[in-house]
Each structure stands twice: as C-alpha cells, then as structure tokens.
A = this chain, B = another copy of it.
Amino acid sequence: MNIYDVSERAGVSIATVSRVLNGNSNVSEKTRQKVLTVIKEIGYTPNIFARGLGLNTMQTIGIMCSDSSDIFLSNAVYFLEQNLRKNGYDSFLCCTGNELQNKKNYLKLLLSKRVDAVILVGSSFLETNHKDNNYIFEAASKVPIMMINGYLNHPNIYCTLCDDRQAIYDSTCKLITEKRNRILFLYHSKSYSSLQKLNGYKDAIIFHKLFLQEDLILQCPHNIQEIQNFLNKHFENGLRFDAVIAAEDLLAVGTLKFLKSKGIVVPKMVNIIGYNNSLLADCCEPELSSIDNHVEILSLTTVTSLMGVLTGITVPNKTTISNDLILRGTTDFVQ
C-alpha cells in the first residue's frame, strides 16, 4: 500500500494526501476525513511517508517539452534535470512535437510509468481551444502538474511564468521614448507566449497614442537565411522601419544580417531587441540587446515548488517572474 493507492481510493490528488499527512491546514475537513478513513481501511502507515524511506514511489519526474532543439526549451530542461537530481529525483524527458495527440499519448505513457509528477515546459502546451487542455486536467487529478510558461487554473497544477507581455511592453515603450515610431514586431509561431508578446507590443503602441500599423506585425520563417529573404521581399514592397522587436533571438539575428546586407547601420538607423538572451545574442555583431527571461530561475523555481508540493507544503498555483532587457550593441539608448 502506498500513497498512490490512498490517493486513488480517496479520489483526491497525491498532493492532498500529502497535505493531510503533514497536517497542512489547506485541506477541507471533509477531504481530510475521507483521506484518513481510506488510510485506516487499507492499513497505510503514514509515518513511512517520507522521500526515499521505502515508499513505493519511483522518485522520478516526467518532463515534457515540444522541441528539444529549441534553445530556450533545451536550457530549461537542462536546469530542471540538474536541480531535480540535486533533490534526489531522476527525470524522464519526452519531446512531444506539436501534435495534440502525441502530447496526450506521452502524458499517458508517463503516468503509466508511475512518475511522481509531470513538468510541462513551454507555452506550446496551452491549446487555443480550451477543451483540448482536458487531458492535462485529467492528469492533474492523479499527480501534480507543473507548468513553465503556461497557466491553467486547477488546484493541482502549479505554474511558473515569465511576464512576456510586460517585458515586450516595457521594451516597446523604451523604443518609443527614444523617438522610434516605426517599430517592426517579428514572431514565428502562434504560441500562447508569442501572442502575449504581441499584446505587449500592441498595448505599448496604443498607450503612446501611436497608430497601430498591421503591416509592421509580421509572422516570419525560423531560419536565418530565410528570414533575410523574407525581409528582403517586404523591403522591396516598401516596408520601412526604424526599430525591431523580435519574439526570439534567432529572428533578431536574421534581421540584423538583412539590414547589414542593405547597408543599413545598426543601431544608428535601426534598433533591434531580441528575446531569450541566448547564446546567439553574443555571437552576432554588433551583439544583440535581448530580453532575458531568466530560464535558470524559472527552472529552479519550478523544482522548488514541486519539492514543496511533494512534501505537502502549500505552494502558490501561479508564480510570475519579471524579465530584464539586457542592453548590448543593437540599441543606442541613453541609459
């Protein structure tokens, strides 16, 4: 008999059982009684409930991400695994791709392997059609679900997000204050995170009473050479801009290369701001000003929350981390 059996028979989450066992007050009296009754019935000995003390848990956390070749995601996974290992947990990573059915299959597979919790990394796990998120809610009735850069409202889902909207809003405002008024916004995928960033851009334009020009919002390819061709085509059709905000560093680097090929001087004629503050920001020339979304802190916070959940400490369901703009050579702000 283990905590899984208690959770299943009582029809509550493991986190709830754990809270009851730890005398945590954040459980209704009714639920507390239900759990205690099951424990009595099946002869479960709560005092062996401690990590590693013979409890029938695998000490394994499932991690899901959509694309292991994405720099932000692979760094998040790296920090998650490092910190889980420090806490005595192994982890399994499933790279699901973007198909909903594959995401569902993988989550099922992880649960069948009796992982202690699942971490969903990246906003691509938020489906536009809210009903499509049901498989996550179902899983949350069995194990704690942690989300990085996604938010779903459920008592057993714990989310850590960076404030993408605010970061892009602040950077756009900064560019406007610096007298830039044709600011191009570039994004690639229509993920939740991209849409948040786009909202930040739009809100800043509107706040400053500038005219929101849809032709300055472009969905572009995800390959440095293709971005250059893409921008070249728009340029020939008359597109002009004096600043760029890109939803990812890769898009910013492609833009920088395009501008240099046209003899347009960065940052003098065009300012560029990227997103993620990745390795790429250090490689290009001039080096790229970029928004740091603190991937290491996001991952650390997620692991800290998870350890809290698994040991019955009350953990907030939503933690939001602010982002910082790291200024380098592609902007010429007076600091």
Contact = CB atoms under 8 A, between A and B. Distances in A.
A237 to B, nearest CB: 25
Contacts of A85: 97, 102
Given A253-B283, A283-B224, A93 B68 contact: yes
A333 interface: no
A314 B248 CA distance: 45
Interface string A232-253: 0000000000000000001001
Interface residues of A, number: 34
A62 to B, nearest CB: 9
Given A113-B113, A280-B283, A68 B81 contact: yes
Nearest to A95: B81
A97 B81 CA distance: 9
B78 A105 contact: no
Contact of A74 (B69, B91, B105): B69
Contacts of A279: 224, 250, 280
A42 interface: no
A284 interface: yes
A90 interface: yes
Contacts of A1: none
Interface string A66-107: 011100001101100110010000111111010000100110
B77 A95 contact: yes
A94 B102 contact: no
Nearest to A283: B283
Contacts of A77: 68-69, 95
A109 interface: yes
A253 B74 CA distance: 21
Given A90-B106, A90-B109, A283-B280, A69 B78 contact: yes
Nearest to A92: B92
A53 B251 CA distance: 46
B90 A93 contact: no
Contacts of A90: 94, 105-106, 109
A194 interface: no
A320 interface: no
A94 B93 CA distance: 6
A94 B92 contact: yes
Contacts of A92: 92-94
A225 B280 contact: no
A78 B94 contact: no
Nearest to A260: B285
A5 B235 CA distance: 65
Interface of A: 60, 67-69, 74-75, 77-78, 81-82, 85, 90-95, 97, 102, 105-106, 109, 113, 224-225, 250, 253, 260, 279-280, 282-285
